[in-house]
Amino acid sequence: MSPTALHSLSTEQQNLESEALDTKSALEIATIINREDAKVAPAVAESLPQIAEAIDAVADSLSRGGRLIYVGAGTSGRIAALDATECPPTFSTDPRQVQFIVAGGERALGRAVEANEDSEDLGRRDLARLRPTKKDVVAGLAASGRTPYTIAAVEYAKKKGARTIGISCNADSPLARAADIAITAEVGPEVLSGSTRMKAGTSQKMILNMLTTGAMTRLGYVYRNLMVNVSLKNHKLLERAITILSSAANVDRETARATLKKSGDSVPVALIMLKAGIKKAEAAKRLKAARGNVRKAIELRKF
């Protein structure tokens, strides 16, 4: 990208609100950053229709055995990795359902490997290894909307028939034009000029929260607003599961704990047992018949 093109991006311009940042006290710096951060949610809200379209695309893909594959470089890639890795413990999804690729590989998660983001060939090659198909959704993240690695990966995914999403912070970007669904959060100049780990990164985290939480909710992996598909990997999560069951089924903690044990430590099966007044085997059959949708399984009369 030419210096002129880079300078024209809103995310690269100087923020007049923080122009004398180096003369401010700690409280003044925190106040300026906080004031700028307050602009992020309204910027994201401008793209809610596109985010909703993306949620449905992801839910449809996962329901058909497809995958959500994130692509990003630098901060964008690290935020994508965070969201992908949080899905299995939150929703008990298979780690293969929500994946990520980041420029520079997984070593880039712990140290900067920023040069790789300029390579279109690497973007195509890294995504090709995952063999995207028409069942999949590939979501590219780039604050500038102009990262060659990410754009090339999205274009490759589209050629393979995958549905594509572009998430950026500058209007009418090449990434937005390359994707089927363009999500743009115009957060404006950063407090620290060009440091898109700040407002731009925050907007990306908010959008990915919506995509995966929205899609998993649409699939029925959430009951009311409760994490009923939570994975019981430690004591904290076990206690959370008991609290969820107690609240959702309106039973005491001992009943919730006992039912969870009878269910084989499956929160969805235990909830169906409690809500429908049935045994483990029937609850498991209902859940399978409802394709994992907990509410539908509870309400099923026949399976």
CATH of the domain at 274: 1.10.8.1080
> Looking at the structure, do residues 240 and 213 belong to the same domain, yes or no?
no
HSE at residue 59, side-chain half, CA atoms within 13 A, is 21
> Looking at the structure, do residues 33 and 131 belong to the same domain, yes or no?
yes
Whether residue 71 is contained in a domain is answered as: yes
- The 3-class secondary structure across 231-267, one letter per residue, is CCCCHHHHHHHHHHHHHHHCCCHHHHHHHHHHCCCCH
> Looking at the structure, do residues 80 and 39 belong to the same domain, yes or no?
yes
Whether residue 16 is contained in a domain is answered as: yes
Respond yes or no: is residue 190 known to be catalytic. no
> Looking at the structure, do residues 172 and 294 belong to the same domain, yes or no?
no
> Looking at the structure, do residues 210 and 278 belong to the same domain, yes or no?
no
CATH number of 81's domain: 3.40.50.10490
Whether residue 227 is contained in a domain is answered as: no
Catalytic residue, candidates 12, 86, 120, 282: 86
pTM: 0.91
> Looking at the structure, do residues 209 and 151 belong to the same domain, yes or no?
yes
> Looking at the structure, do residues 142 and 245 belong to the same domain, yes or no?
no
Whether residue 26 is contained in a domain is answered as: yes
> Looking at the structure, do residues 193 and 268 belong to the same domain, yes or no?
no
Domain total of the chain: 2
Q: Choose one of 187, 218, 249: the last residue of a domain.
A: 218
Whether residue 230 is contained in a domain is answered as: no
Residues of the chain scoring pLDDT < 50: 1-4, 303
β-sheet bridge partners, residue 102: 72
Strand order in the sheet with 137-141: 98-102, 68-72, 137-141, 163-168, 181-184
> Looking at the structure, do residues 106 and 251 belong to the same domain, yes or no?
no
Respond yes or no: is residue 117 known to be catalytic. yes
> Looking at the structure, do residues 242 and 211 belong to the same domain, yes or no?
no
Instruction: Quote the pLDDT of residue 2.
Output: 46
Whether residue 89 is contained in a domain is answered as: yes
Whether residue 228 is contained in a domain is answered as: no
Quickly tell me which residue has 């399978």 as its tokens: 288
Catalytic residue, candidates 36, 117, 155, 190: 117
Q: Choose one of 188, 218, 248: the last residue of a domain.
A: 218
For the chain, the C-alpha Rg in angstroms (whole number) is 22
> Looking at the structure, do residues 208 and 74 belong to the same domain, yes or no?
yes
> Looking at the structure, do residues 213 and 239 belong to the same domain, yes or no?
no
Instruction: Quote the pLDDT of residue 287.
Output: 95
- The 3-class secondary structure across 58-121, one letter per residue, is HHHHHHCCCCEEEEECHHHHHHHHHHHHHHHHHHCCCCCCEEEEECCCHHHHCCCCHHHHHCHH
Whether residue 122 is contained in a domain is answered as: yes
Q: Choose one of 218, 251, 285: the last residue of a domain.
A: 218
pLDDT tens figures, 178-227: 999 999 999 999 999 989 999 999 999 999 999 999 999 999 999 999 99
Q: In terms of residue numbers, what domain contains 254?
A: 235-299
